[in-house]
Structure 1
Amino acid sequence: MKNCPNCKSEVEDNFNLCWNCNYSFSENKVVEFEDVDEKQSVKAIDCLRCKVPLAFSGNFKFHEGTRYGIFGNVFEAFTNRESFDLYICPKCGKVEFFSPEI
């Protein structure tokens, strides 16, 4: 564990960003995440590998479970559904999932 020099929070050794105040250990400053488009809440996020801006690919919905014959719609009520914003690095192809803001 290491301590953040900005807010003094404990951060895992393998993390490069403080979870509490967004302090970047590699850049030695607090990183600000700004909204690019207020309507879709698209974030301006850089790829951790290439340092190029990630491209917003859209919001994707996933669910766990299968449909069971004629009772498929009834069992859909018991499945877990999640929605994520998908970002892709145009240079290396890395994919990032983020939970959308409510």
Structure 2
Amino acid sequence: MAEIINYHNALEALLQRYALLKPHNEEVELQVWIDQIRGHYQLLSVGWCNDKRVHHCLMHFDLKDEKIWIQHNSTEVELDNELVALGVAPEHIVLGFIPEYRRPKWQRAA
């Protein structure tokens, strides 16, 4: 259980750090959405760009099976490396956006 709490803290710290970045458009804000009970963590961009609505998921993580699943990454950031730097064991990170057959062997049992 302590490991899950540490993973929650790592995900929250990572998302909060990137939420401090300023979008190019002042009408767009970055929002951190955390559902700790269900294990969902997201960074969203929300607002307007001229007359077009912006609502885009930049990062999406899930905590399940005692692992961090990177479900989506539309940034240039290597999120798995960022998580390892925050103390998450590499074998507890699953690249959920990659088909299982293309993941590294140590992730396939996830």
Short-chain TM bin: under 0.3
Indicate the structure whose relative CO is greater, using CA pairs within 8 Å and at least 6 residues apart. 2
Higher helix share: 2
TM-score, structure 1 normalization: 0.27
Q: TM-score, normalised by structure 2?
A: 0.26
Larger Rg: 1
